[in-house]
Amino acid sequence: MKLLVRIIIMLCGLMVTSAYAENAPQTEAKNTAKPATAATLDRDSTCTTCHDENESKPILSIYQTAHGNKADSRTPSCQSCHGDSAKHLSNKSAAPDVIFGTKSVGSHAPSEAKDQNKACLTCHDKDAKRTHWEASVHQTADVACTSCHETHTAHDKVRDKKTQPDVCFACHKDQRTQINKFSHHPIGEGKVACSDCHNPHGSAGPKLLNKNTVTETCYTCHADKRGPFLWEHQPVTEDCTNCHTPHGSNITPLLKSRAPFMCQECHDGPHQSKAPAAGNVEGTQGGLTSVPNESFAGRACMNCHSMVHGSNHPAGALLQR
């Protein structure tokens, strides 16, 4: 029994030694990353000697963000973004190489948007969401990354679903009005954000949409409208915005206009039903021939044609079931 115990102890010792030998190169690899982090801290200390907690704009709070996480060797230093700024280091009245933001800092105007974005894209150009940044609407309009993002703060408003719309509405004021209408997506309630539908960094689709078309984007949430259906409604498969306005409407559910007027934008011929409307029966009234007016006979088209997005019923050719 004692011999068995000794054998087990010896085997355990061999296993520990083997595991240590296997992990030894990994430990060395981790240690090689430390000097780079230390160098980054040294470069930061050059800046934070002056730019400390006494700054009018919070500077040191960047260390509460991913950009200040010194446990990660990929974390940039101050000079990685703002440039070496040799002139600024020798003469405090000289401006750094790159000044971010949209407003002047003291007597120094912000750098051009392309220079600010170039500094950001040095690291962030590998992100798949930024593939279409070049020649996108925001890029061609000289929108800088810092026009939307706040780097030196633990809470970047544009990355929070509840506060993101306020950042977007600073430019897109029409949409601010629309989301406050009676029928709207729950953007103001913090349940839907602009980036749920749009990619502000560029897109292959229209209007910076996340998907290639409007309908594909809508289907990410409204999957029950996707189909395929046995009987399809052409304007539905073509573009949801033929009938709906996405940001808000005073007609539920996000409709551009009420039935039958919206329906008659396409269905402008006489209604084939001869069902009489109250006070307007086919026949002669006052010597004039009168037929049911389609605006009255189909006052609520959806009362009969309830499956407006498509039907799988064998008898649903008219989208009635």
- Give the DSSP per-residue string, 179-209: TTSSB--TTTTTSS-GGGTB-TT--SSGGGB
pLDDT of residue 165: 96
pLDDT of residue 32: 39
Question: With 60 as the cut, is the pLDDT of residue 265 above it?
Answer: yes
Question: With 80 as the cut, is the pLDDT of residue 204 above it?
Answer: yes
Other C-beta atoms closer than 10 Å to the C-beta of 97 total 17
Q: With contact defined as beta carbons under 8 Å apart, do 224 and 156 qualify?
A: no
Question: With 50 as the cut, is the pLDDT of residue 16 above it?
Answer: no
> For residue 116, which of 130, 102, 106 has the smallest C-alpha distance?
102
Task: Look up residue 108 and give its amino acid.
Answer: H
pLDDT of residue 292: 53
Tally of residues, the chain: 321
Confidence of residue 200 (pLDDT cuts 50, 70, 90): very high
Using the Cα atoms of residue 183, residue 184, residue 190 and residue 192 in order, give the sign of their dihedral.
Answer: positive
> For residue 305, which of 285, 321, 281, 286 has the smallest C-alpha distance?
321
Confidence of residue 73 (pLDDT cuts 50, 70, 90): confident
pLDDT of residue 110: 93
pLDDT of residue 260: 85
Tell me the mean pLDDT in the region 272-280.
49
pLDDT of residue 57: 80
Confidence of residue 299 (pLDDT cuts 50, 70, 90): low
pLDDT digits (tens, 9 = 90+) for 106-139: 788 999 999 999 999 999 988 888 999 999 999 9
Which residues make Cβ contacts (< 8 Å) with residue 204, sequence separation at least 6? 132, 212
The pLDDT mean for the chain works out to 82
Percentage, residues of the chain above pLDDT 90? 55
The DSSP output letter for 277 is B
pLDDT of residue 276: 45
User: What DSSP line would sit under 85-149, residue for residue?
Assistant: -HHHHH-TTSPPS---SSS-BTTBPPPPHHHHHHHHHHHHTTSGGGTT-TT-HHHHTT--GGGT-
| Lowest model confidence (mean pLDDT) among 41-55, 261-275, 281-295 | 281-295
pLDDT digits (tens, 9 = 90+) for 227-263: 899 999 999 999 999 999 999 999 999 999 988 888 8
> For residue 157, which of 198, 184, 116, 194 has the smallest C-alpha distance?
194
Task: Look up residue 145 and give its amino acid.
Answer: C
* Own/partner long-range contacts of 207-210 (Cβ < 8 Å, ≥24 apart): 208/136, 208/137, 208/138
Question: With 50 as the cut, is the pLDDT of residue 18 above it?
Answer: no
pLDDT of residue 1: 52
Question: With 50 as the cut, is the pLDDT of residue 270 above it?
Answer: yes
| Lowest model confidence (mean pLDDT) among 19-33, 188-202, 240-254 | 19-33
> For residue 108, which of 124, 121, 97, 120 has the smallest C-alpha distance?
97
* Dist. CA 139–CA 154, nearest whole Å: 26
pLDDT of residue 183: 96
pLDDT of residue 293: 57
Question: With 90 as the cut, is the pLDDT of residue 10 above it?
Answer: no
* Dist. CA 287–CA 311, nearest whole Å: 43
Higher-pLDDT residue of 273, 63: 63
pLDDT of residue 282: 44
pLDDT of residue 191: 94
Q: How much is the pTM?
A: 0.76
Indicate the Cα dihedral angle 244, 250, 252, 257, nearest 10°.
-50
